[in-house]
Amino acid sequence: MNRIMIVDLVNDLRNKNLEAEEYIERTYEKIGKYDKYINAFITIRSKEEVLKEVKESINKGGKLAGVLIAIKDNISTEGIRTTCASKMLEDYIPPYDATVIEKLKKEGAVIIGKTNMDEFAMGSTTETSYFGPTRNPWDLERTPGGSSGGSGAALAAGYVELALGSDTGGSIRAPAAYNAIFGLKPSYGTVSRFGLVAYANSLEQIGPMARNAEDLGLLFSIIAGPDERDATTINLNLNFELKERSVKNVRIGVLSDILEMSEKPVSGVIKDVVNKLSSEGALIEDTKLGNAEYALPAYYIIAMSEASSNLARYDGVRYGYSKYMEGNWREVYAKNRGEAFGMEVKRRILLGSFILSAGYYEEFYLKALKVRNLIKKNLDELFKKYDILLSPTMPILPPKIGEVINDPVRMYAMDLNTVIANLAAIPALSMPVGFYSDLPIGLQLMGKYLSDIYLINISSFIERNITKLYNLTASVKI
Amino acid sequence: MVKIGLEVHVHITALKTKLFCSCPSDYTGKDPNTVTCPVCLGLPGAIPVLNENAVKYGILTALALNCQIAEKLIFDRKHYFYPDMSKNYQISQYDGPGSMAIAKDGYIKLNDKIIRIRRINIEEDPAKIVYPTGSILTSKYTLLDYNRSGTPLLEIVTEPDLRSAKEARFFLEKLRSILEHLGVCDCGIEGAMKADVNISVKGGERVEVKNVGSPKDVEDAINYEIARQRASILQGIKIERETRHWDNERRVTVPLRTKETEEDYRYFPDPDLPPYSITPELIEKFKREMPELPDQRAERFVKQYNVTPYQAQVLVNEKALADLFEEITNNYKNYAKVANLLINDYMRWLNENNITVTQSKAKANHIIELFEYLDSGLISIKIVKELLPEMILTGKTPGQLIKEKGMTNIKDENYLERIIDEVLNEEKEAVEKAKRDPKVVNYLVGMVMKKTGKRADPQMTVEIIKKKLGLT
């Protein structure tokens, strides 16, 4: 397989081994051919505008000079509509760039478009989008995972080499696993959330999505860093030295309680990888997360509570859906919100409002915070013994479109393996490790707080020496 | 018995930027919605970041009000839908499980009475609602101005320890003076200090009157409410829990809504604002920076200027007045005279005409000049009292005014004798009385004053009359 990395692409563009016109033409051709089926994008910018920017950017230089990037549609982009895949924000054009967008532009990246997602990032399959579901490029009958499903599919379809997603409870890693790409949920506080439309502030991070570990690391190194506009970012400069890190003598704990709750084909592929890691010298041990059964309820209680608060601002007064203007303000708000929010969003607002109301707050919310602390403590203990905790990213294979969307409990259960990292603020990376009847399976690596680069370097080793699965492009069967 | 509690909202005018963004907090004279940013507009994705200077003013206030200070500054979201809210929650503070207010359990001493402070919150102000016709009832639409959105407020809540309208007014005046001495709030700015008033009379439920502007208005609103509630109860009408609105024009309270149930604000700590640690060292630092407070200043005035405790209290009740007093006495050493003039004449006139000390154009050096004219005998005390209002309104010096109006005392002996002779001729009866009773001389002096438009030099007039009546 031809190993083309972003550094090579940037060089080729600068040296005109690859003409900007050809690069853009090729990309728009693919999108034109496949995206009516895949529906990875909500908004695609005009080819002319993008070409112009790419050319300017190549001249200016930067680590991503001229490189196209797809941005999840809940990240604020000045002048480009940012819909959160909701009717509520269908026509909302932000007057400002998110911090991560500023950083990307400074390095020369050019936004090609905004990717599809679950409405306000609430979902695990990209089916709750107001703009219709995204389909998995590996199997158009199936979902690409979610909520950053559009970003995942755009990478798997080979439209772009880089994308941004956001991860509140697995929203980068689920699509990474289901699209056979790489995704990182960074340590909480390493990437600014300024400009990320909030779903659950205390859990979520913007994170990089790419087609190989090296590019993932490069993108992460660009978007990470403290931001005075987000007080939850940590004032610490990470060491971004990206290089393969052998797994020899790396202590790996396999989360057996999580593995046991996975579908057979999934656990089969994962066990196979574990054996190969062992033969590369990794020190493998079975272990348990502990209190795993409380993780999901605690996660959903916290996420929905914060969501109910964050989404209160959408009333159609300053921006957003405002079809109704007449009558008293209560009626106007109710009508606008009633029409513009989808079912899943309404469900979470209602549940969150209930949880925060007097009397239930202590019973649910404060208790969920206790579980969160308990899980953190469990993980602190585990990370004394292990450098990495390993599990499948998703407990099941990519579900078919429509299969789980009407069964919320089943849909929420898909997040079992991923929510742990969000609750504990630790980094978690998903990488492709195999297929089962042509459906991708992802491996999740969790590390201790701020071990993001270490995880990337380990995944780089696994990708090159064990799985040889990187830069995979689905052959879309129209 | 009447029980009164206050919730006072104070703009932290000392802060130059809004509470959670870098927009200027002073938007005076700016067009509506021009002093805004994604944060104070509540745009999707915007994140509040604490203006850390707010911590200082919160702690200074807490110390001055003898409060217990929290070990952490935690902001909560207070949820309710209302058109002036940019996020449909207000970033405020909450004293409950998992949260805390910046300070609680303090007091203010009012003479010898303790008025307890329940808590102090730091919070953001919502946008301003503008009704185009001026009235909520007749306006077809509502305008919103987000310039105010996110400006920093202190909420100071008392226990229901106040017992009368007058006491509530004194409390607010004292609080205002404390905040002014701390430099937290320039309370002279329109709307910088507002209060919600809770009033209950015997046999009735608690009634809340929202948004009352000044200590004087609070006094009037409470008096109105007490009378209204008592009259209702006498007529057998129950006083239920309700919220009323103070109509500043008509000087009455009007019903706003009945409170059937306690509103559920669904408080929870704002996840965008990490707790800010208030260390004992930080508190110590602010203690050292604590300026002189009104009570200490009043004590000093008694010692340093030999004014009465009552005078001292009146003077420090308004920081600008106390400052003016000290500015004058710095150069003019007859302290009692200054205190008397400021309290009895200057302040009375200001109060009667609804002008604040800071609005007054009479500066310290003008007043000093006024005293100098008086002492030299060029003008009488009566002229002093006449000149003051004009000095306050126009900012002209006494010298200018005296010249313009020809108000100097008449010291021309010949002229005075001529006038006095006229008076003595006209007032034969009084002249006879005066010869037996020297007090009647004052009456004759008064008649001379009348003829001279109060300009006759009083000293000389008395002497000439006495001489002519053979009383010396």
Give residue A249's pLDDT. Answer: 96
Distance separating alpha carbons of residues B20 and A452, to the nearest angstrom: 30
Place of tokens 């909030």: A198
B383 lies in the same domain as B276: no
B384 lies in the same domain as B447: no
Give residue A1's pLDDT. Answer: 38
Give residue A148's pLDDT. Answer: 98
Cβ-Cβ contacts under 8 Å, B43 against chain A: 76, 94-96, 318-319
Nearest to B47 among A82, A193, A308 (CB): A193
Contact A231 B44 (CB under 8 A): no
Q: How many angstroms separate the CA of residue B240 from the nearest CA in chain A?
A: 23
B104 lies in the same domain as B188: yes
Give residue A113's pLDDT. Answer: 98
B113 lies in the same domain as B205: yes
Cβ-Cβ contacts under 8 Å, B82 against chain A: 329
A30 contact partners, CB below 8 Å, separation of at least 6: A157, A158, A159
B102 lies in the same domain as B224: yes
**H or E stretch at A436:** strand A428-436
| Active-site residue, A72 included | yes
Q: How many CB atoms lie within 10 A of CB A381?
A: 11
Which residues of chain B approach chain A closer than 8 Å at the C-beta?
A: 38, 41-47, 49-50, 77, 79, 81-83, 86-89, 97-98, 142, 144, 146, 262, 264, 266-268, 271-274
Which of B383, B405, B427 is the last residue before a domain boundary? B405
B20 lies in the same domain as B117: yes
B194 lies in the same domain as B131: yes
Q: How many domains does chain B have?
A: 3
Which of B354, B380, B405 is the last residue before a domain boundary? B405
Distance separating alpha carbons of residues B223 and B209, to the nearest angstrom: 12
Give which of A469, A359, A354 is closest to A1, Cα–Cα. A469
B253 lies in the same domain as B139: yes
Name the closest residue on chain A to residue B276, using Cα atoms: A231
Give residue B280's pLDDT. Answer: 97
Q: What is the CA radius of gyration of chain B?
A: 28
pLDDT value at A474 more than 90: yes
Give residue A241's pLDDT. Answer: 84
Active-site pick, A124, A129, A171, A267: A171
Q: How many angstroms separate the CA of residue B105 from the nearest CA in chain A?
A: 24
Give residue B66's pLDDT. Answer: 97
Place of tokens 């270490």: A454
Nearest to B44 among A89, A312, A358 (CB): A89
Which of B285, B319, B344 is the last residue before a domain boundary? B285
Residue A269, sorted as left (phi over 0), alpha (psi -120 to 50) or beta, turns out to be alpha
Query: ∠A346-A352-A357 over CA atoms, to 5°?
Result: 125
Nearest to B49 among A228, A318, A366 (CB): A228
**Which CATH number do you get for residue A362?**
3.90.1300.10
Nearest to B44 among A197, A315, A366 (CB): A197
3-state SS, A54-73, equals HHHHHHHCCCCCCCEEEEEC
Give residue B261's pLDDT. Answer: 62
Q: How many angstroms separate the CA of residue B255 from the nearest CA in chain A?
A: 19
pLDDT value at A205 more than 90: yes
Q: How many angstroms separate the CA of residue A322 from the nearest CA in chain B?
A: 14
B281 lies in the same domain as B318: no
Query: ∠A196-A424-B92 over CA atoms, to 5°?
Result: 55
What range does the domain containing A38 cover? 1-478
| pLDDT 10s digits, A129-163 | 999 999 999 999 999 999 999 999 999 999 999 99
3-state SS, A108-171, equals CCEEEEEECCCHHHCCCCCCCCCCCCCCECCECCECCCCCCHHHHHHHHCCCCCEEEEEECCCC
| Active-site residue, A448 included | no
B377 lies in the same domain as B421: no
Q: How many CB pairs under 8 A join A and B?
A: 107
Instruction: Report the percentage of chain B scoring pLDDT > 90.
Output: 67
Nearest to B266 among A92, A329, A353 (CB): A353
pLDDT value at A3 more than 60: no
Q: How many domains does chain A have?
A: 1
| pLDDT 10s digits, B32-79 | 999 999 999 999 999 999 999 999 999 999 999 999 999 999 999 999
ipTM of the complex: 0.95
Q: Which residues of chain B have pLDDT under 50?
A: none
Contact B266 A361 (CB under 8 A): yes
pLDDT value at A16 more than 50: yes
Give residue B260's pLDDT. Answer: 58
Give residue B262's pLDDT. Answer: 66
Distance separating alpha carbons of residues B12 and B14, to the nearest angstrom: 5
B19 lies in the same domain as B105: yes
What range does the domain containing B337 cover? 294-405
Name the closest residue on chain A to residue B86, using Cα atoms: A313
Average pLDDT of the residues of chain A: 96
B362 lies in the same domain as B455: no
